[in-house]
């Protein structure tokens, strides 16, 4: 199972230096790391990241997160993946630049059909 996190490149660079991602912004306020499934990530980008630049889409192997990954009701009653803990770098399977165009965000082909 693959889940996603959208972050500014500068925040991700710090996480790489630390060897794990412990949250940013609203994650720290809420006490868990907000993630999205492939079906949810486009709407997450539109609602929370419009107009921002130098973003990365972080792809995470949810199975490597173990019991720290839970699915909880959120926006519109949908179940969203949340991490209670940290995301170790070993769980990150890829990162992609995430740019916005006039038609919305440009996502990598690898998640187009998920």
Per-residue confidence of the chain (114 residues) as pLDDT tens digits?
999 999 999 999 999 999 999 999 999 999 999 999 999 999 999 999 999 999 999 999 999 999 999 999 986 888 999 999 999 999 999 999 999 888 889 998 877 555
Give the pLDDT score at 74. 83
8 Å CB contact between 50 and 103: no
Helix (H, G, I), strand (E, B) or coil at 84: coil
- Report the distance separating Cα 26 and Cα 5, nearest Å: 12
**Element of type H or E holding 76:** none
Give the HSE-up count for residue 75: Cα atoms under 13 Å, Cβ half-sphere.
13
- Report the distance separating Cα 62 and Cα 34, nearest Å: 13
Q: What's this model's pTM, rounded to 2 decimal places?
A: 0.92
């Amino acid at each position: 199972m693959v889940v996603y996190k959208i972050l500014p490149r500068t925040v991700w660079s710090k996480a790489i230096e630390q060897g794990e991602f412990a949250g940013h912004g609203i994650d720290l306020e809420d006490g868990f790391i907000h993630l999205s499934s492939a079906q949810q990530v486009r709407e997450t980008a539109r609602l929370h990241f419009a107009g921002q630049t130098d973003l990365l889409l972080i792809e995470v192997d949810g199975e490597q997160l173990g019991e720290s990954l839970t699915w909880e009701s959120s926006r519109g009653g949908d179940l969203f993946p949340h991490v209670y803990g940290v995301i170790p770098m070993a769980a990150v399977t890829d990162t992609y630049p995430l740019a916005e165009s006039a038609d919305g965000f440009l996502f990598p082909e690898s998640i187009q059909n998920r």
